[in-house]
Structure 1
Amino acid sequence: MRSDLCVRCRGGRYLCGLSYCPLLVRQMAAPSRAARELLGSSPPSVFVGRVGYPKVRIYPSAPPELGDTSLYEDAGRWLEIPLEKFIAMRLSLYRGGLEIRVDNAADPPRPLQEIQLIALSERPVDVDLRFRREPRGVYLSEYAPPMGPSAPLAEFKTEGSPRLPKLAERAYGDFDLDAREAVLTLYRSGLDVGYISRALSVGALGARRRRRLVPTRWAITAVDKIVSDHLVEEIKRFDTVDGYYLYLRRAPGNLFLVILAPSRWAYEWGEAFEPGTVWNPGPGLAVEADHELYRGRDVYPEIGGCYYAARLAAAEALYRMRRQAAVVAWREVYRGFTAPVGVWWVRENVRAALRGEPARFDSLEDALYAASLLLKVPLERWLSASRLIHILRSRLPGVGQE
């Protein structure tokens, strides 16, 4: 199998010609199993699949645990725990599936209403899931965090009442507010993008006639893009950074490096996968990058949802600084990192990197030389994949205006 196809596909586009992803199947060789009834506290957690669209499966989910399970859905705290503990924790979320048409969200039947309220709750909700058969398997994706066994639901009950944040309750009941404005309203109120993408996914946002269930992987990227688009338009009003800033973060099996350059807004996200890593089963190194200049881009980036997850983190940092810049963000993935954990991993690690203290340089070449001492992949290999670095080096008038 060609490794470049795996890097481009990431288990979602089946570019190899198979009807399944062999890399993910390898991860699922020993499926988990559970009893046919589960009483637990949903963190809250709800997953919406995409198979069979426009009729999809929606999965209220919970671990076999009662009490405060909020950590299961709190991406802001996940970097504080070992990666293997995070994966084990997420794989203990059991999913009970209901098949529903996506447009039912415009006039939701009672089971969907209950699931929507669970998804919007700001605290865990006790649920009783009764399955038609023993749950089995796991869910692994480049986009969403891992999840555990699933089975069709025979019966579903909630114990107690979900409690919604006031603005979320208002947005849920506002049938004239479009989805984009609802997303931005919730973000401005301080709710994290994980909560907002869950609300969008279960069809709880938007004008009544346009409300739809949105597959989780689509909702995650949609919210990252909507929010970062808004922030980018705001930071374009600010002065540029006053030098070249270099940020670094090391994480298990990964390195994240970000350079801010004094320029109008531009952005690049690049990833390098060593052989034998999550999306590169082949023998050679795989490096790819995608970029945008001042006016943005018209097509979805080949590199996938991580592009927008890192873009959001970069835009948030520049907005805090009240500055604009050209952002070059690169990620290296090393041997031993073999399981996909979701784009939250990129978003939170880039957020963490940009909260750190940067090294400052007077020139791009000095910043790149320092980067070359930190990166494992040769700088020349990165530069061969990077378009934005070449644009910044050229110092052409109108950089970022393409």
Structure 2
Amino acid sequence: MRKIPAELCVKCKGNKHLCGLTTCPILERFRSTIDVVNKIYNKDLIQGSTPPSIVIGEKNYPNVKLLFNIPPEINGEEAKKFEDPKGWWGKASIYEIINYRSALISNILDAKINDPWKLYEKEISLSSVSEKPVASEAKISGSILPKLKFDGYLAPRGPTAQSEKIQITENPKITETLDKLIFDDIKAEKGIITLYENGYDVYKIINAISLGLLGIKKDRKLVPTRWAITAVDSAIGKKLLQKIATYNEINDILVFYQKYLGNYFHVILYPSKYNVIWIEIWHPLSLWTNELVISELKENFWGEYSFMDGGYMAARFSTLEYLDKIKRQSGIIIIREITSEYFAPLGNWHIRETVKNAMENKIGKFDNLKEAISFVNSRLQAKINLAELKSIKLLFTQKNIEDFFSNNQGQNRHSSI
């Protein structure tokens, strides 16, 4: 959560709004959790439709925890809203998303990563990739822990309960393409690309990898969900980059923009071989910091980036999709500004979806890259100078990829004389 000084909360007690927020996030979480726990008070059987929503944890790997999420007493299509990144985007507020996630009971099962078939036989893994919510029930043991857990990669998680048994009481609806791949003996990466090229939802592909439904049969394993997100982003990104490298460069310098949940994105495309600069500007009292912080990441023509960042990979995914759609390659600058409005981590899905929507919202066309950068700079809420950032300075001083290829060709001609 956003680091609001504790002394401010003590003075406010949830009703003076001293932190500047319209609603107290502590009280919102408390109300949501109490509501869902009251639904199952003194019950040892939780019934409802999973949206679907399953998470594989990474703690104590290879002996991991499977979290099967059910909104108690919510059935059919109504359950979908509890895990629906594409449906949430542009409509659901942070508070609404927190309330949705607070209303899910995370039913915990112990699982071994090298036995995905056990979950398949019980249709638990199949429920994670169903095209519609699936009626389910979980027999729990012990008490429910009424805590809400947040994560930078994944959507928030509601109260948890250890489960003795999880039962799927309705047939999951699986597409023919995925059903065939489950029984095919092909590499997981090929399975990912096949699903993607057939228009399969990326979040379902992540679940398919995480639950061990793709890959060479003898090598299949459960994959922690965090790792599955990276694997899918990387596999699809690699495929898209191979195609983009064959396209001509764009002719114009374009600026795109979109905002959601206190995150403001500007994307600049300019004539160049593929390379990316990712800039994050964290405002004081935003999620992770009490002061202004700027982070920079670079990726070169060969798809090599300076460090792994989940937010960048999500934004990169949507930008690559756009370049493939217009059949062009370009240099890219993505600027993410995170304000104090973003007070709770909701996972990186909103980055992927906001950048995707940004690429449908062109707000400027320029003849000069410095002018485009200056234009974006004038729109930022932070009082900074983008032109003074190291990554931007290097953009105008270092030799570009054309120089590299030109020099290499010249050296090759010289060596052949």
Same fold, TM-score > 0.5, yes or no: yes
For residue 241 of structure 1, the aligned residue among 246, 250, 254 is 250
Aligned letter for 1:316?
A: E
Matched, 1:339 2:344: yes
Aligned letter for 2:313?
A: Y
Larger radius of gyration: 2
Unaligned runs of 5+ in 2: 4-25, 406-417
Equivalent residue, structure 1, for 2:16: none
For residue 150 of structure 1, the aligned residue among 160, 163, 173 is 160
For residue 89 of structure 1, the aligned residue among 100, 106, 128 is 100
Unaligned runs of 5+ in 1: 4-25
Mark the CA change 1:195 to 1:386 in structure 2 (over 3 Å): closer, same or farther.
farther
For residue 54 of structure 2, the aligned residue among 46, 55, 79 is 46
Equivalent residue, structure 2, for 1:182: 191
Mark the CA change 1:245 to 1:44 in structure 2 (over 3 Å): closer, same or farther.
same
RMSD: 2.3
TM-score when normalising by structure 1: 0.86
Mark the CA change 1:320 to 1:379 in structure 2 (over 3 Å): closer, same or farther.
farther
For residue 98 of structure 1, the aligned residue among 109, 114, 121 is 109
Equivalent residue, structure 2, for 1:17: none
Mark the CA change 1:379 to 1:320 in structure 2 (over 3 Å): closer, same or farther.
farther
Mark the CA change 1:57 to 1:116 in structure 2 (over 3 Å): closer, same or farther.
same
Any idea what SS the aligned residue of 1:134 has? strand
Distance in 1 of aligned mates of 2:47 and 2:129: 20
Equivalent residue, structure 2, for 1:251: 260
Aligned letter for 2:163?
A: L
Equivalent residue, structure 2, for 1:325: 330
Equivalent residue, structure 2, for 1:294: 301
Equivalent residue, structure 2, for 1:274: 283
Aligned letter for 2:180?
A: R
Alpha-carbon deviation of 1:156? 1.6
Mark the CA change 1:385 to 1:165 in structure 2 (over 3 Å): closer, same or farther.
farther
Alpha-carbon deviation of 1:307? 1.1
Equivalent residue, structure 2, for 1:8: none
Any idea what SS the aligned residue of 1:60 has? strand
Aligned letter for 2:162?
A: P
Distance in 2 of aligned mates of 1:54 and 1:28: 36
Distance in 2 of aligned mates of 1:242 and 1:28: 49
Alpha-carbon deviation of 1:82? 2.3
Distance in 2 of aligned mates of 1:160 and 1:111: 14
Distance in 2 of aligned mates of 1:55 and 1:98: 11
Matched, 1:167 2:177: yes
Alpha-carbon deviation of 1:32? 3.0
Equivalent residue runs for 1:333-372 within 5 Å: 333-372=338-377
Q: Contact 2:120/2:126 (CA < 8 Å) preserved in 1?
A: no
Aligned letter for 1:59?
A: L
Alpha-carbon deviation of 1:205? 1.0
Distance in 1 of aligned mates of 2:387 and 2:345: 26
Mark the CA change 1:185 to 1:335 in structure 2 (over 3 Å): closer, same or farther.
same
Mark the CA change 1:397 to 1:60 in structure 2 (over 3 Å): closer, same or farther.
closer
Equivalent residue, structure 1, for 2:240: 231
Distance in 1 of aligned mates of 2:258 and 2:157: 26
Task: Write the deviation string for residues 162-195 of structure 1: whole angstroms up to 9, x where unpaired.
Answer: 1101111111111x21111111111111112111
Equivalent residue, structure 1, for 2:228: 219
Q: Contact 1:142/1:340 (CA < 8 Å) preserved in 2?
A: yes
Alpha-carbon deviation of 1:41? 0.8
Of the structure 1 ranges 312-321 and 368-377, higher mean CA displacement relative to structure 2 is found in 368-377
Seq. identity, %: 28
Equivalent residue runs for 1:359-398 within 5 Å: 359-380=364-385, 382-387=386-391, 389-394=392-397, 396-398=399-401
Aligned letter for 1:296?
A: G
Alpha-carbon deviation of 1:400? 9.4
TM-score when normalising by structure 2: 0.83
Mark the CA change 1:43 to 1:211 in structure 2 (over 3 Å): closer, same or farther.
same
Task: Write the deviation string for residues 221-270 of structure 1: whole angstroms up to 9, x where unpaired.
Answer: 22112111211111111111111101111223221111001100001222
Count of aligned residue pairs for this structure pair:
369
